[in-house]
Amino acid sequence: MKLIDGKLISEQIKAEIKAEVAAMIDNGARAPHLAAVLVGDDPASQTYVASKEKNCQSVGITSTLYRLDKSITEKELENTINFLNNDPEIDGFIVQLPLPEQFDEQKIISMINPDKDVDGFHPVNVGKLVLGQDGFVSATPAGIMEMLKRSGIETVGKHCVVIGRSNIVGTPMSILMSRTTNPGNSTVTLCHSKTQNLKEIAASADILIAAIGKPRFVTADMVKEGAVVIDVGIHRLEDSSKQSGFRLVGDVDFDEVSKKASWITPVPGGVGLTTIAALLQNTLKAYKKASL
C-alpha cells in the first residue's frame, strides 16, 4: 500500500503558486485577492475559512473575510455579493456553505459572477464542466484530480466508482473522471443512497472515491484487492485516549481498507489539504483571466 500524501502534494501545488505569484509581483503586478463570505458562526465553517486565509497568506494571495450576522436578510447578502462581483480588486470569492436556513443556497450561488466563482458552484461553471469547457472546477474534485495525476495513477479504461452524488463533490467528480482527459477516461459508476448492490459495485472498482458523509462507511469487504481508494470524508469521533477527546476519521475504514488498497488517502492529511490547494489554483486562474 502507498499513501497518497495530501500534505506533500498540496505543498508542491502551493510552492508552484507561490513562485508564480512572486514572479508577477516582481513584474509590478498586484497580488491576487480572494474574499470569503461567512454568514453566522458555524464552528466548522469558521475553521475552514481561517485555514483558507492562512493558506492564502502562505502563497502571497491577499485574503479578506466578510463576516455577516446569521440574521441578515437575503437582500443584505445579495448586496455583499454584488459589491464583490463589481470590485475590480477582488479576483474571486466564495460564500461559505452551509448558509443559515433562511437562505436558498442555489439562489445565492447563482448571484455570484461566474468569472469570480472560484468554488465552481455557479450553474455556468457546472455546465462548462459537463461540456468539457474551461471554467472553474469545484476544489475538492479538482484537488483529487491533482492527487491522481501527481501520483502517476493510471485511470484510462478503469472502473471508477464514486459513492455520493453531492453537487460539491460526487457529481462533479463523476463527470471529471469520465471526460477525455488524463486523469479521466474512466468508466464511471455513481452510487448513492438508493443504489442497490452498493457493496458489490464498490468491490468492482479499480478506483473508489468515497464522498458519502458517513464515518468509516467503506469497509474492507467493499474494496477490491489493489484498488485505489480516495477518502473525501472527515468526521470527529469521540476518543478518550486522545488529549483532544476526539479523533478524525474519514468515510473509509482506513486501518482495514489500507491492507487491500494499492493507493489510499489518509484522513487527516489527504483530500482536505489538496482541496485548499485547488482553491488557491482557482484564485490564481481568476486573477490571470481578469488581468488579460
Binding site for ligand GUN (CB under 6 A): 94-97, 119, 139, 168
Q: Report the alpha-carbon distance of residue 226 to residue 206 in Å, rounded.
A: 8
Closest CB 97 distance from ligand GUN, rounded Å: 4
Q: Report the alpha-carbon distance of residue 180 to residue 199 in Å, rounded.
A: 28
Residue 9 or 227: the one with the smaller Cβ distance to ligand GUN is 9
Residue among 93, 119, 112 at smallest CA distance from 38: 93
Residue 4 or 35: the one with the smaller Cβ distance to ligand GUN is 35
b/e per residue, 145-165, with b = 16+ CB within 10 A? Answer: bbbbebbebebeebbbbbbbb
Q: Report the alpha-carbon distance of residue 2 to residue 31 in Å, rounded.
A: 37
- Strand 207-210 to strand 187-191: parallel, antiparallel, or no bridges (unpaired)? unpaired
Residue 5 or 119: the one with the smaller Cβ distance to ligand GUN is 119
In the chain, which ranges are E strands?
2-3, 33-39, 62-68, 92-95, 159-163, 187-191, 207-210, 228-231, 235-238, 246-249, 263-264
Q: Please say if 106 is a catalytic residue.
A: no
Residue among 81, 182, 164 at smallest CA distance from 174: 164
Say which of 5, 14, 91, 96 is annotated catalytic. Answer: 96
CB 279 within 8 A of CB 10: no
Closest CB 261 distance from ligand GUN, rounded Å: 25
236: β partners: 248
CB 191 within 8 A of CB 162: yes
Closest CB 95 distance from ligand GUN, rounded Å: 6
Q: Please say if 96 is a catalytic residue.
A: yes
Residue 46 or 195: the one with the smaller Cβ distance to ligand GUN is 46
Residue 167 or 185: the one with the smaller Cβ distance to ligand GUN is 167
Say which of 52, 158, 224, 285 is annotated catalytic. Answer: 52
Q: Please say if 119 is a catalytic residue.
A: yes
Closest CB 28 distance from ligand GUN, rounded Å: 32
Q: How far is C-alpha 193 from the chain's CA centre?
A: 21
3-state helix, strand, coil in the chain (%, to 5): 40, 15, 40
Closest CB 119 distance from ligand GUN, rounded Å: 5
**Nearest-CB residue to ligand GUN?**
97
Closest CB 40 distance from ligand GUN, rounded Å: 13
Residue 35 or 139: the one with the smaller Cβ distance to ligand GUN is 139
Q: Which are the catalytic amino acids?
A: 52, 96, 119
